[in-house]
Amino acid sequence: MTTPKLQVQNVWKRFPVEKGEALVAVQDLSMTVQPNEFVSLVGPSGCGKSTMLMMAAGLEPITEGEIKVDGGTVFGPGPDRGVVFQTYTLFPWLTVEENVRFALKKSGVEKSKQDELVRDHLRLVGLEDFARAMPNQLSGGMRQRVAIARALVYRPQMLLMDEPFGALDAQTRMLMQELLLNIWQADRTTVLFVTHDVEEAILLSDRIYVMTARPGRIKAEIVVDLPRPRAFMETEGDERFVKLRKQVLSLIHSEVKQAG
Amino acid sequence: MANSPIARPKEKIQLLELRREIPRQYYVGAGIGFIAVFVAAWFLLTSFGFVSKIFLPSPAAVWGELMKQIQSGVLWQDAGASLYRIMVGWLLSTLFAVPIGILMGNFHFFEGLFEPFIDLVRYMPAVAFVPLTILWLGVDDSQKFAILFIGTFFQEVLLIMDNVKTVPRDLIQVSYTFGLSKWEILWNVILRAALPGVWDTFRITLGWAWTYLVVAELVAANVGLGYRIMRAQRFLETETIILGILVIGVLGLITDYLFKLSYKKLFPWVIQAR
């Protein structure tokens, strides 16, 4: 059996509270992501799914348990894991091109090779004509495309995405999902994707973990057996898609109801 | 469309809608108009003898004083001395406020270390330090610098701290994922992102330094705009007082404007939050 790309073992996250007992955000959570697999983490809002992702990124300390990447324990952030945030994280004083290049600062890649990598990745997200633009000239969708290019440019082992399309309008979100689908189907970088959008999770993923309301645990694991390559219109019309959506939604629905 | 068959009532210009933009000529006109009304009221009050010259001289008298001071060169001497004091006092304050503010904004340890002390001192009136500074530093320019420093530094350092703190956390987080160390992030990301805010703090605190000028030149000065005002008070030369106040106001306005202008040139990338 191959080593999983990402392995989360009995992870707990407690946030200390000024008075009284600590708030348990994530409780004894275990999950895996295999190499070249696209896995989504869905759950009701406030269930700790983003916290889980940030712990995998090494940006949030783990209270208890262990997270491994390629069998090695994670102690902090590193260029083996690219992260895309929900908020716009472009450096506003740099051009699109310079933003992507910034991620290569510590890569040791030589200058001429950097130019090539930056160009290739801007082409990948369809923004080669915007290389010289400043972030404040871009739409929200374009900014997230640059963020994706920037997270991929240093060829990380896996991509961690925290509701990357959560702030976008419905039409832009649809286009971005399609773009990500195409990018992923071309090179199959391992992805852990956090979202509260069930349809988005089904469209993109090989497997979905459904989390409970706080404290976050794994409630169910669902294999998405829809054929690839997928495309937005075809896949969402598939009757298996409709069935899966109903299944996942009812799982989340019961959680929200209990918590609410 | 220009010639639409249905006649629409001519759109009325709404000047008083909540947060609604108004035509530029109204915006600028209102500002100029207000000053004009102010000057006109001043002119009327003084030229018909409603108020005694000792309390309020006429605009013409102040203008005459301005001409007199320009010819004698007193104005340039005063303005030069005051500008020099303000620049040195403010630069001194900035020299300390920037690094300390950066440390306080980034490291909770330094915030805990300095903030209680700064909060204590910043409520102390700068004017109360005049006798102490004379005792400690004597009567030369260093005493003036000290008063300007005391008046500016303790506010400036807290503003710089806030400028640094407003840098979004996710911008720092994403930089960690590129493998940058905390010092590299501090230098390449946090300081870069905080710079427009810091520049605005410079503009605001230099404005405050102007307001402390009179306090700084209160005692033991023989040149300077503030000194000229204090001296004129002794001889009831009201037109000199008013001229001094106006000159300080105009110089403050110019420095403010220069900062605003350079802000636009230096930071065209700032994302306007509306």
What are residue A84's DSSP bridge partners?
A161
Structure tokens at B257: 């404007």
Closest CB to B178: pick one of A93, A106, A136.
A106
Structure tokens at A260: 């609410």
CATH top class, domain B59-266: mainly alpha
pLDDT, tens digit (0-9, with 9 covering 90-100), for B31-64: 999 999 999 999 999 988 888 888 999 999 999 9
Residues A79, A106 contacting (CB under 8 angstroms): yes
Q: Are strands A64-69 and A72-73 parallel, antiparallel or unpaired?
A: antiparallel
Which pLDDT score is estimated for B1? 46
Q: Spell out which residues of chain A touch residue B176, defining contact as CB-CB under 8 Å.
A: 58-59, 76-77
What are residue A67's DSSP bridge partners?
A8
Give B101's contacts (C-beta < 8 A, 6+ positions apart). Answer: B156, B157, B158, B159, B160, B161, B163, B164
Which of B92, B82, B72 lies closest to B215, judged by CA? Answer: B82
pLDDT, tens digit (0-9, with 9 covering 90-100), for A186-222: 989 999 999 999 999 999 999 999 999 989 999 999 9
B187 touches chain A (CB under 8 A): no
Neighbour order of strands in the sheet with A72-73 = A23-33, A6-15, A64-69, A72-73
Q: Do residue A79 and residue B178 have CB atoms under 8 angstroms apart? A: yes
Is the pLDDT confidence value at A19 over 90?
no
Nearest CA in chain B to A139: B271
Q: Do residue A83 and residue B177 have CB atoms under 8 angstroms apart? A: yes
Question: CA A34 to CA A191: how far, in whole Å?
Answer: 9
The alpha-carbon gap from B258 to the nearest alpha carbon of chain A, in Å, equals 22
A17 φ, ψ to 5°? -115, 145
Question: CA B108 to CA B114: how far, in whole Å?
Answer: 10
Question: CA B112 to CA A64: how far, in whole Å?
Answer: 29
The alpha-carbon gap from A207 to the nearest alpha carbon of chain B, in Å, equals 25
Could you give the percent of chain B with pLDDT greater than 90?
80
* SS3 call for B221: coil
Q: Spell out which residues of chain B touch residue A106, defining contact as CB-CB under 8 Å.
A: 178-180
Give ipTM to 2 decimals: 0.92
Question: CA A23 to CA A259: how far, in whole Å?
Answer: 15
Q: Which residues of A touch B (CB under 8 A)?
A: 54, 57-59, 76-79, 81-83, 85, 87, 89, 91-93, 102-103, 105-107, 134-136, 151, 154
Q: What is the pTM of this model?
A: 0.87
The answer as to whether A45 is a domain residue is yes
The residue extents of the domains of chain B are 14-51, 59-266
The answer as to whether A119 is a domain residue is no
pLDDT tier at B80, thresholds 50, 70, 90: very high
pLDDT tier at A259, thresholds 50, 70, 90: confident
Residues B153, B202 contacting (CB under 8 angstroms): no
Q: Do residue A82 and residue B271 have CB atoms under 8 angstroms apart? A: no
| Domain total of chain A | 1
User: What is the Cβ-side half-sphere exposure of residue A106, based on CA atoms within 13 angstroms?
Assistant: 14
Which pLDDT score is estimated for A91? 97
Tell me the CATH number at A224. 3.40.50.300
* SS3 call for A223: strand
Interface test with B, best of A50, A60, A83, A84 (most B CBs within 10 A): A83
Residues A214, A47 contacting (CB under 8 angstroms): yes
Q: Do residue A83 and residue B174 have CB atoms under 8 angstroms apart? A: yes
Which pLDDT score is estimated for B274? 38
For A29, A54, A60, the CA distances from A26, given in Å and listed in that order, are 7, 12, 12
Tell me chain A's radius of gyration from C-alpha atoms. 18
The answer as to whether A96 is a domain residue is no
Which of B85, B90, B43, B68 lies closest to B232, judged by CA? Answer: B68
Mean pLDDT of chain A: 93
Helices B59-72 and B238-266 pack at an angle, to 10 degrees, of: 80
Other residues' Cβ atoms within 10 Å of the Cβ of residue A103: 28
Question: CA B219 to CA B217: how far, in whole Å?
Answer: 6
Give B132's contacts (C-beta < 8 A, 6+ positions apart). Answer: none
Residues B74, B228 contacting (CB under 8 angstroms): yes
Question: In chain B, positions 124-163, which contact chain A (CB-CB < 8 Å)?
Answer: none
For B60, B92, B154, the CA distances from A6, given in Å and listed in that order, are 82, 53, 50
The alpha-carbon gap from B28 to the nearest alpha carbon of chain A, in Å, equals 28
